[in-house]
Structure formats: C-alpha cells, structure tokens
Amino acid sequence: MIKVLEKSIADKIAAGEVIDRPVSIIKELLENSIDAGADTITVEIKNGGKTYIRVTDNGCGIDSDQVETAFLRHATSKIDNVKDLDSIRTLGFRGEALASIAAVSRVELITCTADSKAGRKVVIEGSQVIQNIQTGCPQGTTITVRDLFYNVPARRKFLSSDNAEARKITELVSRMALAYSDIRINLINGSKRVFSTQGKGNIFNNIISIYGSDTGRDLIPIEAESYGFLLKGFISSPAATVPTRNKEIFCVNGRVISSRIIQEGLEQAYDEKLFGGRFPIAFLFLFVPPEKIDVNIHPTKKEIRFDDDFEVKDFITKAASRALNSINAVPKARSEHISQPIFRPADKQYENKVAENVNEYEFQREKDEEKVTEEQVDINNILETMRKSQQSVKATAEEIERETAEEVNATAANNPFDFDSLSIIGSVFNTYILASDGQSFFMIDQHAAHERIFYEKFMNQYNSQDKLCQQLLIPINIGASAQVVSREEEWMELLKKAGYDIEFFGNNRYIIREIPAFMSMDEGESFVRDMFEEFDTKPDLKSKTAVDRIITKSCKSAVKAGDILKPEEITALIDQLKDCRNPFSCPHGRPTFIRITKYEIEKMFKRV
C-alpha cells in the first residue's frame, strides 16, 4: 500500500541529503551569512560541532514576521521563478538549509533587521517551534545549533571523532575565508581561536594567516582574462609541492567547489615539472558569467557544471603555464620577513573589469559602516574575542603591507622570464653562476641546471619516435646483479626507448654498443650503472611514477659536478636551460635559480 509519509519522517529523510555532519551545517550557515551581506562572521564550535555550533553575523537579518517561514522547506528570498536558476548570483537559493538543520537538531535563532527596534528569538527542536518571542539584539543573525542528530541516533553513530570533525570544519571555514577576503571571518574551537582574518580584501594575507608563512613564500601570483572569464589567485612554484591535493583550492563566483576540470587544467600546466605523487599548491578564484555555469547539480552544491569544459580547462592551463614561466617562478632567497608577491587584480581596475566583462556580477559587496552595539546574552564576549584576534595578526599584516608598498617590481605577474636579459657576471665555488638583469641578482646552481637539461633531453628522447643515437667505437662492458638480469625484459625496453643498444654478454654482464646522442661515453655508462643500482630496489616498471623515479635518480650522477666552466660553457648552459620546459627546478625539486631583488639587497645594507 502506498502512503504519504508523516512530515517529521519526511523532514528527517530530506535533511539527510543536505546535512550529513557538523561541517554541512556550518557550510549552509556561512553561505546564508555571506548572502545576507555580512562583513563580520564568527563561527564557534564545541566537540567538533556535534554538540554545539554558533554562527554570528552582522548581515541584514530576517524580518520578525518571516522568521518561522524561513524554517519551512523551500522557503527562499533568493529566487522568484524558474528563469532565476539560469543566472544564480547567491550561494544559497533552494531554501533547504534551515529546514534541514532544524529537522535533526535543537536550533535557536536570534535576528534583527536595520529598521527594527527589537529582534526576534525563535527556538525549534526537530522542526517543531518551541518558542517565538521578541528580544533585544543588534542587527544581524545568530544561529545556535545543539545536539546534532539527537533524534536520529542511527546517523549520530556514523560521525567521526571530535578532532576529525573539527578538522573538516577548519578546512571549510579556511577556504571560505580565502574566497571572501573582504569579510572578517573568525573560527573558535572550544576556548581556542583557530584563526581570524582581517577582512581587508587581501587574499595573500589570509593565506599566510591560515596556512602559514612557509606556504606563502613559494607562491606565484596568477591572473588572466579570456573567454569572458577572469582568474586571480596564487599557485606554487614547481619546487614547492605537497603529497596531496588538499591545498588545491578552487572558488568559482565566490563558491568553494571541487572541480575535476579546473584540477586537470591546473595540473596539465605542471606536466613534467613535478614528480609522480606530488601536487601543486593552488588558490584559484575564477569569475565567470553566472549564465555559463549550473550550480544546481549537487545536493550540497559542492560541484558545478560549466557550459564548456574544454574552454575552462584550456583557460586555466594557459594562465598557469604563463605564471610558471614568469620571473615570479624563480625562487627567492629566504629572508627574515616574507614579502607579498605583486598581485595586481586586487586593485580597482580589476574590480571594474569584473563588473564590465562578467555581466556586471557583484564580486565586492558594498560595505556599511561597522556597527558594534550591545549584544544579547554573551555576544559582547564574541566581539571581544574578535577584536583580540584581529590585533594578534595586525603587526604581521602591517609589516607585509609596508614591505609590499616599498618593493619596486615593474614586472607584470605573467610576463615570461627573459633569459636573454641576463648578464653573466661569473661564478663562485665552481658551483654557482652569478647573473643580473638590472633589477634582480641571480645565483644559478650549475649542477642542478645540468640535471634539468639532462633530464629533459632524456625524456624527449624517451618519448620520441626518432632516436638520436651514437655508435661507440669501443663498446661498454658493464656488470649487473642477478636481480637485474632476472628482470631483463622489464628494464631493457626502457633503455632501448632512451636510445641504447644493449644486449646480454653472459656471466651477468652486458655490452652497450650505442648510447643517446646527447650523452658523453662516461654519462652513458654512469646512467646505466645507476639505473641498475636503482632497479635492485625492485620497482614496478609498469608504474610511470617508478620509471620517472629511476630516470630522475639515474640522471644525478650523469651531470657535471664541481667542474670549472669556461665562459663559453656557462653561456651554452644558460642557452640550454632556456629551452627547458621547467628551467627553474631540477628533477629532484631543488631550485636551479635563486633570485634576490635589488630592494632586498638594499634592505640588507640598511639603505631602505
């Protein structure tokens, strides 16, 4: 027999599509606060958000007569008709968040609008209104959520530990804080302030406040405009990578998302610049006309659909490639203070471009004057915590801004690095080549540079159909272990693809009659010996990562070390490095270049 479910049961089922853990609640409440125009938001949690969540904002608030309506399913102020779905400009729009939260927890909402003399307090438990009274409070909304899944114990037992849930929340709020750098966002876990952003629109400041200065040191500014898209953000140099994709953060029109298309576009720009199993750091903020995306394809809006995937992927790849070939990709010498990379899209000209090219989309919200009035209950404590947290990062932020204002760097973020502008000065320690372009001083590690050149020549040979080889007048006779001999079929193909003519000679020995054309005889022999040694670790050559690791390690002993280079040899080295796809790091991830700006040198001598 078919029957209609009771409302309480239907609400719990529907809530399961939107709310599966504490971080889901915080995502929905944060989005509502941002949509409400708040410029200060505080998120508080206890026990990983399982027993207590409070989100406080100074947004527009909810009219008293609409507070209960806001908790009804599909009640929304953000769309009016079906056509609005084709051009959504808000984070929330379905009207499911508050209804879903209230169905599986105990909720208290206190809100007040700018033109109201008093606010409203509503208490709801399991979708049932327990209290609806007038109360005194400042403009904005505070929502407190207690005892998540108290009425659905089967769901509660699947939650992770307090620390695990708190980590998920920290990750989400961190990403939202980066996406909305013009909003002061504070996160408090128990009695501990996790982080606090300034809300001054400085993405770079937020990155180092949340992820630390070590992450900020190796970031390259990226900006691009094409296809009607605008992109800004930061990506890491190839020398600064991480073992997971956790720091690949993408935001489209203010919405933090997961996107296979953006991920593939980004990582394609790093092709052959990173080892297998290593990933770039990226904070990418993409702005597109709202009608070119569909945000209504995922229950929690974690994913979006682009009208043209290839267009987006190509745009991201080209933008990232330009940044990776710019002077900003050259690692800078470490100094006591961290200087902010030059990043022009943050200025007013960029904001005007956004309004003009992206269908007049509102990326920067109008700011009202800050209103700090008397709070209900213990809101004063929250504001005091916020003030203290802002003061704690004030000194660092002011120092960064001061250095940024003082540093003169006329090079645009995406201008390619001009090798031809380098004037070779000499070398020191038979290791480092010294050069200058008039604005910066460079130290080039000749060993790392040789490694990069050798590696790319080898890979070009390995992947090419036409093998350039040289026949040896006197063949090389080389020994191998029983382990290497027993697995000959696996490594033999690798060497032949690289341009070797090698065959078994008996008694665990091999004869090499041809080597790649770009190698000297010593290099050709050293490479095979090192490859045999690496192969003794029993790698699986079916894995591209393992092959890459063997080639990379084997290249190390094939390069010149400690040689005294003549001026013409230095010039030839720089010319060959210029032709590399990734001239700024060796195959092992170490930098080939180190850059010190004129300003930094003057600072060392106390001239500025």
Question: Position of tokens 């399991």?
Answer: 126
Q: What is the mean pLDDT of residues 491-497?
A: 85
Q: What is the pLDDT of residues 257-315, one digit of tens each?
A: 888 999 999 999 987 677 667 889 999 999 988 888 877 656 556 778 888 889 999 99
Lowest mean pLDDT among 141-155, 295-309, 501-515, 537-551: 537-551
Alpha helices of 242-333 — where are they, by DSSP H?
260-269, 309-324
- Per-residue pLDDT band for 585 (boundaries 50, 70, 90) equals confident
With a cut of 50, say whether residue 342 has pLDDT above it: no
Q: Which of 173-187, 283-297, 491-505, 571-585 has the lowest mean pLDDT?
A: 283-297
Determine the pLDDT at residue 493.
83
335 has a pLDDT exceeding 60: no
Report the C-alpha gap between 225 and 349 in whole angstroms. 13
* 90, 92, 228, 233, 356 from 290: Cα distances, Å: 10, 14, 11, 20, 14
The residue-averaged pLDDT of 115-121 equals 91
**Cut 0.85: pTM above it:** no
pLDDT value of residue 74: 66
Answer yes or no: is pLDDT of 504 > 50. yes
pLDDT over threshold 80, residue 2: no
Provide the 10 A C-beta neighbour count for residue 480. Answer: 21
Nearest to 412 by CA among 545, 253, 220: 220
Decide if pLDDT at 376 tops 80.
no
Spacing of C-alpha 261 from chain mean position: 14
DSSP state letter for 331: P
Q: Are strands 241-242 and 255-257 parallel, antiparallel or unpaired?
A: unpaired
> Rounded CA gap, 373 and 302, in Å?
36
Residue 460 above 60 pLDDT?
A: yes
Bridge partners for 96 per DSSP: none
- At 534, is the pLDDT very low, low, confident or very high (cuts 50, 70, 90)? confident
Closest to 246 in 3D by CA, of 285, 295, 193, 283 = 283
Whether 556 has a pLDDT exceeding 70, the answer reads no
CA distance 347 to 354: 11
Burial of 67 from C-beta contacts in 10 A (0-12 / 13-18 / 19+):
buried
Instruction: Report which of residues 541 and 354 the model is more confident about.
Output: 541
461 against 300, higher pLDDT: 461
Query: What is the percent of the chain with per-residue pLDDT over 90, rounded to a whole number?
Result: 28
Give dist(CA 287, CA 361) in Å, integer. 9
d(CA 53, CA 189): 10
What pLDDT shows up at residue 584?
85
Residue 549: pLDDT above 80? no
Residue 455 has pLDDT above 80, yes or no: yes
Residue 136, token pair as written in the block:
């005194």
Instruction: Report the mean per-residue pLDDT for the chain.
Output: 79
Q: What is the dihedral of CA 300, 301, 303, 306, to 10 degrees?
A: 150
Q: What integer pLDDT is reported at residue 519 of this predicted model?
A: 86
* DSSP per-residue letters across 194-239: EEE---SS-HHHHHHHHH-HHHHHTEEEEEEEETTEEEEEEEE-TT
Residue 560, burial from CB neighbour count under 10 angstroms (0-12, 13-18, 19+) = middle
Mean per-residue pLDDT, 379-392: 50
Q: How far apart are CA 187 and CA 283, in angstroms?
A: 20
pLDDT in tens, 57-82: 999 999 998 888 888 876 666 555 55
Which residues share a beta bridge with 284?
A: 233, 250
Summarize the confidence of residues 403-419 as an average pLDDT.
Answer: 53
pLDDT score recorded for residue 90: 59
Residue 509 in contact with residue 480, Cβ under 8 Å?
A: yes
Task: Give me the mean pLDDT over the 10-17 stretch.
Answer: 54
pLDDT value at position 530?
80
Would the pLDDT of 401 be above 50?
A: no
Residue 393 clears pLDDT 50, i.e. is over it: no
On the question of pLDDT at 89 being above 60, the answer is no
Q: What is the mean pLDDT of residues 542-565?
A: 67
3-state secondary structure of 594: strand
To 10 degrees, the CA torsion angle through 257, 261, 265, 266?
A: 20
Q: What is the mean pLDDT of residues 239-267?
A: 88
User: What region does 243 belong to: left with phi over 0, alpha with psi -120 to 50, or beta?
Assistant: alpha
* Least confident window among 7-11, 40-44, 312-316: 7-11
**Of how many residues is the chain composed?**
608
Does the pLDDT value for residue 162 go beyond 90? yes
Predicted pLDDT of residue 345: 36
Please report the pLDDT score of residue 83 as a whole number. Answer: 55
Say whether pLDDT at 365 is over 50. no
Per-residue pLDDT, 381 = 53
Q: What is the mean pLDDT of residues 545-564?
A: 66
Burial degree of 408 (CB within 10 A; 0-12, 13-18, 19+): exposed
Report the C-alpha gap between 190 and 18 in whole angstroms.
25
The confidence score (pLDDT) of residue 58 equals 94
Would you tell me how many other CB atoms lie within 10 Å of the CB of residue 501?
16
pLDDT surpasses 80 at 247:
yes
Which is higher by pLDDT, 312 or 83? 312
Most distant CA atoms of the chain, gap in Å: 97
